[in-house]
Amino acid sequence: MEQDLWKQNASAMVDYHGQVFEIICQRSHGSHAFSIFQGANPLELSFTVLLLDMSIVLILSNIMRFLLKPLKQPKVISDVLAGIILGPSVLGHNKTFAKNVIPENSRFIIRNIGIIGFMFFLFLTGVKMDVTVITKVRKRLWVNAAGGILIPYIIVPSVASIIKRCTDLGFNKASSTGAIVSAIIITAFPVIYSVLKDMQLLSSEIGRLALTISIIGDVFGLSMIVTFEALKQGEKKMIYVLYYLLTLVGVWIVKRTPQGKLVDQNYVIATLLGVFFMGFTTDFIGAAIGSGPIWLGLAIPDGPPMGETIVQKTEVILNDILMPFAYATIRLQTDVFEMWAYWASLIPVFTLVFSAIVVKLVAVVLVARFMEMTYRDSFTLGFMLSLRGESEFFLCLHWMDLKIIKTPSFSLIVTLIILMTSIACPIINYLYDPTRPYLINKKRTIQHRVQESELRILACIYDQESVANLFSLVDFINPTTNNPFTIFALHLIELLGRATPVFIDHTKYKDVYRDNNNEAVHKAINHYEKAHRDCITMNFFTSVTPNRTMYRDICEIALSNKVELIILPFHKKCIENRYDFSTAVRRVGVQSTNANTLSHAPCSVGILACKNNAAPWGTLPTRISYRVNCVFALLFLGGPDAREALSLVSRMVEHPNVSLIVVRFLANEYEGYEKSERKMDDGVITWFWVKNEKNDKVVYKEVVVRNGFDTVLAIKLLNDSAPIDLWITGRNNGINPILIEGLLEWSENPELGLLGDFLMSLDSGSVLIVQQQVLRNQRVSP
């Protein structure tokens, strides 16, 4: 019988030449032929237990993320805590639970898969890391990085020299102490990137600073780790140090990635297999098994095409499958009960690690203040560079293998790392709001600008299709030699395949491009600039940043260049096929970027939604391609957004090919108006009419309505009476609620406002939505 093959776990102590060894006999089992319905116990099968274990980990991890989200905790803290709850520190402390859920015969599998998870985590981080940035950094960053490393390296080893005689086995050696001190002092780039990505701070000013400093620190840190591991190899014979270093040099030469390879499936597979080879090689020579994968990652060019392809094909399975095993490996070694039992002997370890954390924080803050950063930014940078996580957990496992530390010390260091990161994250969120500088009290709008001054516009570009439409709209706003424009063209690209955001100022770096698409956009902009150099000054930028924080780069450029109008493309673009039918294609991440820009912009914002390529300006942004006459319609419902839209069209109507219909909607018996808003609306309407009363291309109408349905009916009648090429309206702010009553339930695109969303449903005419600048301490309508 198959069940007769199963043996109960047994252990025995064997004395061999004076050394005592524990021999554990594991139960063996055959196939999965028997089910629970036939009396078999699935928990006696290691693979079944493994599946149960990981299912519980994934469920508990998601529960912990939900519970800790209000506390601003990153993913790594939630996942590690979920693992520790299942480990011997909490549930695993119960012998029955430990025997059935985490038996010895499944721990070996979990640990090995977890190590593979750490290997691929470090490999992908290396792929995303661009070490060449250290050749371009300013002196200020070198001072920050050097001060944050050298000051702790002077103070902490002094503390270690005092307490090293009192620690547990293996920790009182210089190589062991140096390795642990280095790991705590050096801020690991993989950890900083992972946590800041969760906190959406990668593209923030302090976030970029922390990433760059961590790269500089990692160069030094890797050198120190190699040094201390070489010393560890030389504890038996000094010749082993030479063997170790020579082997590392050989590994570095072998791992160089061939340049110019096509990113086909075979090359990707070969690269991923290289992760296992590099892990085997570094483990074989006694180095940390993660060292080889991160070196291999550094050798692969970041970004497209190679880095982006590898990240896209690997990241999901790493984050959702392999990393939970990695965190489960941590939980198997973390036992707070054993930590408390040996607390008296752990006080020196606690003193060393705690002093390293505190000295590191204080050193970074002091150096930042010396470099004239504000107190708030200095402490923010200090806490960012104090973040600890996956890299330190992996090193702790490596130290366990080298017998530098034991389970009590391991549990203590893991606990301190969790506490440090979990405390630092909410403090960072409290101290640092990267969007705060964007909302200002100085008005930067078209309505309030000096008439003869230069109009400054920021045009945001996501793809080649948006170039023609955006710049044709700019042309219709009518730049002239007497009223010139300064255009800031920003090409926004999603950050893929690399960790550090990229910002390129093409006025300084004319021949530097992110990819072929970026170069094509640049050429189109250059062509436009040459055709309008008499009235337009062009500045071109490229920003490679995560979708979730793209709006910050938009707002930053608008703020620093005193822009008065930001023009954004709609998140849907229309592509015509060979049967002359238009298909709407979503631009990934653009809708949230537009919504966030509306909420934080330091100036007025317009969103241009082109329904198809039959827009009045066609596909070529030159004046000769326009129709003889284009009909624009402004729907004026009152409020600051409507007044800003009217100020904009007052410039458009000066264009020789534009005819304008202005329709002002009024509530029946003037119901629902605020007196101050109504007075300002009357003033700007009077100004516009006085300016254009003799202009035959301008038609002004007033329509009295009782609710939103009357408003919609009037718009439909206008659309049926004449083909409208471009609808223009204010977004939401200040609109009399009577005029849009009943329209709320129709809204699908809130960033366009209620009326703009309805205009997108009409069969003709593109749509331009305008929002006037929201000053600080004001609220913008959702």
| Torsion of Cα atoms, 440 then 444 then 447 then 450, to 10° | 130
Q: Report the half-sphere exposure of 595 (CA within 13 A, side-chain side).
A: 13
Q: pLDDT for 211-234, tens place per residue?
A: 888 888 777 766 666 565 555 555
Nearby residues of 189 by Cβ (< 8 Å), 6 or more positions away: 125, 129, 211, 214, 215, 217, 218, 499
Confidence at 757, pLDDT banded by 50, 70, 90: confident
Average pLDDT over residues 398-419: 86
Confidence at 66, pLDDT banded by 50, 70, 90: confident
Q: pLDDT for 470-489, tens place per residue?
A: 888 888 888 888 888 889 98
Q: pLDDT for 547-598, tens place per residue?
A: 888 888 898 898 888 899 999 988 777 655 444 445 566 777 788 888 888 8
Q: Can you give the pLDDT at residue 768?
A: 92
Decide if pLDDT at 42 tops 60: yes
Q: 604-609 and 766-771 as β-strands: parallel, antiparallel, unpaired?
A: antiparallel
Decide if pLDDT at 618 tops 50: no
Higher pLDDT, 257 or 692: 692
Average pLDDT over residues 626-648: 83
> What's the CA gap between 752 and 741, in Å, rounded?
17
Average pLDDT over residues 745-756: 78
Higher pLDDT, 230 or 452: 452
Decide if pLDDT at 12 tops 50: no
Decide if pLDDT at 427 tops 90: yes
Asked if residues 125 and 499 have their Cβ atoms less than 8 Å apart, the reply is yes
Going from the C-alpha of 215 to that of each of 129, 135, 211, 488, 499, the distances in angstroms are 8, 11, 6, 31, 11
Of 128-137, 379-388, 707-716, give the range with the top mean pLDDT. 379-388
Phi and psi at residue 661, to the nearest 5° = -115, 120
> What's the CA gap between 681 and 686, in Å, rounded?
9
Q: Can you give the pLDDT at residue 580?
A: 46
Decide if pLDDT at 157 tops 50: yes
Confidence at 383, pLDDT banded by 50, 70, 90: very high
Averaged pLDDT of the chain: 77
pTM: 0.76
Q: Can you give the pLDDT at residue 229?
A: 58
Confidence at 7, pLDDT banded by 50, 70, 90: very low
- Give the whole-number percent of the chain exceeding pLDDT 90: 6
Q: Can you give the pLDDT at residue 167?
A: 52
Decide if pLDDT at 4 tops 60: no
Decide if pLDDT at 379 tops 90: yes
Higher pLDDT, 450 or 279: 279
Q: Can you give the pLDDT at residue 714?
A: 87
> What's the CA gap between 41 and 48, in Å, rounded?
10
